[in-house]
Amino acid sequence: MAQEEASQSIRTLSGSERRLTSDSAMPTVSSDFEGSSFDTGTMSGIIASTGAPNATASITSTDEPLTRLVGGNPTTAISGNMTATSTAPRPSNTQPCNNYPEFCSRKYSNITEVCAHNSPFTRKNNAGSNQEFGVTQQLNDGVRMVQAQAHFVNGTLYFCHTSCDLLNAGTVEAYLTEVTTWLAAHPFDVITIIFGNFNYNDKDANGAPLVTSKNFVDPVEKSGLKQYIYQPPKTAMTLEDWPTLSELIISGKRVITFIDYNFDTDAVPWLLWEFYNVWETPFSPTGNAFPCTIGRPDGIGDKKARELLYMANHNLNVEISIAGMNLLIPNTVVLNVTNGVNGTGSLGEMTERCTNNWGRPPNFLLVDYYNAGPTNGSVFEVAARANNVAYNRSCCGTESLAAGLVRPAATCLGLVVALAVALMV
């Protein structure tokens, strides 16, 4: 392989009996991975798209095991002269992707994740709150989709619940900056963000929509999130179109973004219209029937729905009146049932029923107070059952659970980033 080819992109690292070596200078952890959390264990994974100049690589035999992040061509291994061979036994992956090694080789569309409904709204003793912990703790605990309602106020987007006078959680930029910081420290995780556009009915002086996808570009870019956002090959993706988690991780594009209304994919192709790609069950119910029928968008048929991602809305509400406003707020009294694994009205019961109805589990389970339930982590146990994996984590609190996960050794990860080895087939 030519040296210039080797410096462009990493496709996959493969082999339990081979390791990479290089005569090029390695990037330092302090300059290239500042803020990241690594332990001193086995090298496990790949970071993509590096500009390391004149990197060369060789393969040497060793008894020291290397774990594999499955991606690129999963049946190809690297031989000593940098040609492909399929004679070596396939190694097993031990690096978690979104908390489970099994997810690395799965399509994004073939995984059930917990979604924090109104993720930024965590104000204590405020009727507009939907979560107890902030977004960093949500992500540490295992949430992989976040959602919230954005309000356009004096030219700036804020996350507010119904009214910024009721609950103002700060600017969208500040929230996304926190998410970006977390992403930088967790290179093997893929997350999804849904932006709710509160002002979708507002018009400017010319009668055009006041707030569209274009208004979200500024906070996304200023927060640093843009570098992580995946732009699909088309704006309306089917289940088969989505890449695997490992492919997203290898590419470095580990964030999927949607907007619910006033999309403009011509101007902002990476901010997808939610309802071209995702349908939802009825939302904001005050009864615990939690139907698995199509709530949004209008007019979608069952045949089309079976080709798309779908979200099970499972947040039970009560209606109250505050300052002349009728509001639906979380029914916290019955969270032990609503967020439970079993029983009438439970998240587990709804997930099983939707799975039976549609022949596959929901992709996203939208919940309030994800940390509440009959047991710690009950909503994540429901997701694990839907994913057919063993729930083996703990939840939920103020300590970073991510610190307990397998992380790559800093020197080995730096080695992989510097080499940028592309397989030849």
Residues 230-256: pLDDT tens digits? 999 999 999 999 999 999 999 999 999
Q: What's the mean pLDDT in 243-272?
A: 98
Q: Where are the domains of the chain?
A: 1-94+406-425, 101-404
At residue 423, does pLDDT exceed 80?
no
The CATH code for residues 101-404 is 3.20.20.190
CB 350 within 8 A of CB 314: yes
Report pLDDT for 126.
85
Catalytically annotated residue among 117, 151, 186, 314: 117
The yes-or-no verdict on residue 19 having pLDDT over 80 is no
pTM of the model: 0.77
**DSSP tag of 255:** E
**What is the structure's pLDDT at 100?**
96
Burial 363-382 (b: 16+ CB within 10 A, else e): bbbbbbbbbbbeeebbbbbb
* pLDDT for position 125: 85
Whether 167 and 125 have beta carbons less than 8 Å apart is answered as: no
Contact between 107 and 244 under an 8 Å Cβ cutoff? The reply is yes
pLDDT mean over 369-379? 95
**Catalytic residue list contains 151:** no
Q: Which tokens go with 26?
A: 């390695």
What span, in angstroms and rounded, lies between the C-alpha atoms of 202 and 195? 16
Which entry of 151, 161, 186, 314 is annotated as an active-site residue? 161
- 186 is an active site residue: no
Distances (CA, A) of 294 to 231, 275, 349, 354, 425: 26, 11, 18, 11, 44
CA dist., res. 288 & res. 242, Å (int): 32
Lowest-confidence segment of 47-56, 152-161, 270-279 by average pLDDT = 47-56
**230: helix, strand or coil:** coil
Reply yes or no on whether the pLDDT at 398 is more than 80.
no
Task: Round to whole Å and give the CA distance between 308 and 237.
Answer: 7
Please tell me the predicted confidence (pLDDT) of residue 133. Answer: 96
Asked if residue 281 lies in contact with residue 290, where contact means CB atoms within 8 angstroms, the answer is yes
- What does the mean pLDDT of the chain come to? 79
| DSSP assignment string, 49-112 | ----TT---EEEE-SS--B----SSTT-EE-TTS-EES-SPPPPP-S-BTTBGGGGGSBGGG--
